[in-house]
Structure 1
């Protein structure tokens, strides 16, 4: 009898330990503007916000819930009730990534805030109310606008007939408010503007167009006339910028570091990857010059027969829960 009781007690203790150690996924809530937001995939749209691509840089222990929205400033995000929705969902241990500025600069009364005044106040509100719910705020400043004006031109335009050699800032003091509030309130801060500025400079005037929505006429159904957009990112740009953010988190938010992962390619049905099919990722791996290529397959049913070219490198296929390849 004593043996049975002891065994039952040990089993209960082991079960209790398991229950204590089991944790729900950490949620990262994202609030911001169009440069961070999820985009429609309709008609082959290739525009992506960097927040849309961020899930491909984390393990399944982290869930990214992106509430960023096109055209919103810190003011309109609050006044439209969007912040209240996010606030109601935050649980202890969750994170809120905050990036505003692009639309706070605009003169429209429903959007405009002043750096050093109302913009800072809104950022403080996000921080204080996140902390009150047991969450962890992280402040970002705006990604760079790809602005290469011709020499001698001071007026900022969306595009120029001929671009100059120098990348010129368009955000001004709106870049400093998140940094200032982060220092004041002891909040992690990621200078995403500097990271993307350095990225664009490193790629050069012409190559950096590959990051943004430079669309030739007649190439895509979603934009048949083509366009030049130096603010918003495409699939490639979104993945690259999300990677910069993920790398910065390792240093600035050490508690998230163990969840960060880097894969050569991400396949996702929801548009958060480089490709929609596994075969596309395998094809891209060929001729890449690496001996081993890692491919993350995010949740979804992939009805395809994947063929491996004879000349392909060693491919490591990582399937997340819910990913099925038929």
Structure 2
């Protein structure tokens, strides 16, 4: 059996006293449950292992790029580990142009810091892990089970024409068992997805704010929603594939789509929308997970002359409601629940929960209120763990 990566690192770093990365970089500090990599050709931060684009994986050192000829060193506009980066010249979730690191079997938390990029996704083990990180130096994390002794990771497309860059990885062992914690998986569109920086973005999706209402000891939240998404795309373009790779009994899968499906440019009839959603429900249920359907909230402007917010005829809502009944899955009718809340606070206060000049997309406060409504409804329905 291959020696653990840390034994190799200890031999390289402590035994031989080698300085990793650029000349004069501080000595990397290895620990048997943490692996930290600083990518690019610049100075290496204290406690990190420096990795240049030319560093090829070898079993002896236990890390490196599978095809370094398809990597490139680039500067980045951040500081510390975010001051330089590597670019993945070839990419795609199935690409062999990966950064490989040998790891003992277990469950790991991987903190990712990107370089300069407008929008990039992170893939590992052949599937998406994080969807559409935006902005230079964006930071996010995910849990991943490793059972084959090696993590294979790359940064890939979130937007055609963007550069896909990586500045740093911080990989921490959180369990010796390669099984993910109980997980709430989320599928959706721009009203649900993450925006960056995660803790301070002005715009936010309710899936991004859901962790504020969840006990992190009970669940991890994996938000796989993305802006502009439709049911056909979520099913066929890799997001559902990633969920199905890891979803398990005890997990929840909350699915909210319909806004973009109703746009004529996406050529999705209501009947087609319903069947795409049905297939995702059945695939997740077959893995033993609990599927929860949610209907999208309406626009801030959906008030009638009596001051009542009403948007029940939008976004293929009726098909989502019918599908929940037909497939026997719980429904969060966020459309109706949010309308009741908006009616209670009035048009002016409702508008303040949306982005300026935008009656569809919630701002951070609006996303927080929607997340609160979702959790309160799940708790009311007796969902275990809320």
TM-score range, shorter chain: 0.5 to 0.7
Q: For residues 193-241 of structure 1, what are the alpha-carbon distances to aligned partners after superposition, in whole Å with 9 as ceiling and x for unaligned?
A: 0111111111111111121112xxxxxxxxxxxxx01111111111111
The partner residue of 1:96 within 246, 253, 276 is 253
Indicate the residue corresponding to 2:358 in structure 1.
Answer: 229
Cα distance, 1:49 vs structure 2: 0.2
- 1:188 pairs, out of 322, 330, 354, with 330
Aligned equivalents of 1:173, 1:143: Cα separation in 2: 9
Q: Does 1:250 align with 2:366?
A: no
**Structure 2 counterpart of 1:176:** 318
Cα RMSD, aligned residues only: 2.4
Q: Does 1:63 align with 2:217?
A: no
* Matching residue of 1:26: 182
Any stretches of 5+ residues in structure 1 without a counterpart?
1-22, 152-163, 215-227, 261-326
C-alpha distance in 1 between matches for 2:182 and 2:382: 14
Match of 1:284 in 2: none
Report the equivalent of 1:106: 263
Structure 1 partner of 2:63: none
**Distance across 1 between alignment mates of 2:313 and 2:304:** 18
Distance 1:143 1:149, change over 3 A: closer
Given that residues 145 and 170 in structure 1 are in contact (C-alpha distance below 8 angstroms), is that contact kept between their aligned partners in structure 2?
no
Instruction: Identify which of 132, 139, 143 aligns with 2:286.
Output: 132
CA distance in 2, matches of 1:170, 1:112: 22
Corresponding residue for residue 46 of structure 1: 202
Query: What displacement does 1:105 show?
Result: 0.5
Shift of 1:150: 8.9
The question of whether the paired residues in 1 share the 8 Å contact of 2:298 and 2:314 is answered with no
Please give the alpha-carbon distance, in whole angstroms, between the structure 2 residues aligned to 1:68 and 1:168.
25
Secondary structure at 1:64 match in 2? strand
Larger mean CA deviation between 68-77 and 44-53 belongs to 44-53
Instruction: Determine whether 1:80 maps to 2:237.
Output: yes
Per chain length, whose mean CA-contact separation is higher, i.e. which structure has more relative contact order (CA < 8 Å, sep 6+)? Answer: 1
- TM-score where L is the length of structure 1: 0.59
- Check conservation: 1:103, 1:112, Cα contact below 8 A: no
Deviation at 1:145, TM superposition (A): 1.5
Q: Could you tell which deviates more after superposition, 141-150 or 192-201?
A: 141-150
CA distance in 2, matches of 1:148, 1:240: 17
Deviation at 1:166, TM superposition (A): 5.6
Show CA shifts across 1:30-77 (max 9, x none): 0011111001229x6400100000011111211100000000011122
Q: Does structure 2 conserve the Cα–Cα contact (< 8 Å) formed by 1:106 and 1:112?
A: yes
Give SS of 1:172's match: coil
Pick closer, same or farther for the CA change 1:150–1:240 going to 2, 3 Å. Answer: closer
Counting only pairs closer than 5 Å after superposition, residues 148-227 of structure 1 correspond to structure 2 as 148=302, 167=309, 169=311, 171-172=313-314, 174-214=316-356
Bigger strand share: 2
Task: Quote the Cα distance in structure 1 between the aligned partners of 2:272 and 2:374.
Answer: 26
CA drift of 1:188 comes to 0.5
Q: Distance in 2 between matches of 1:167 and 1:229?
A: 17
Is the 8 Å Cα contact of residues 213 and 230 (structure 1) preserved in structure 2? yes
Structure 2 gap ranges (5+) = 1-178
Which of 366, 369, 382 is the aligned partner of 1:240?
A: 369
Contact 1:28 1:62 in 2 (8 A): yes
Distance 1:184 1:207, change over 3 A: same
For the 8 Å contact 2:184–2:254, the answer to whether it is kept is yes
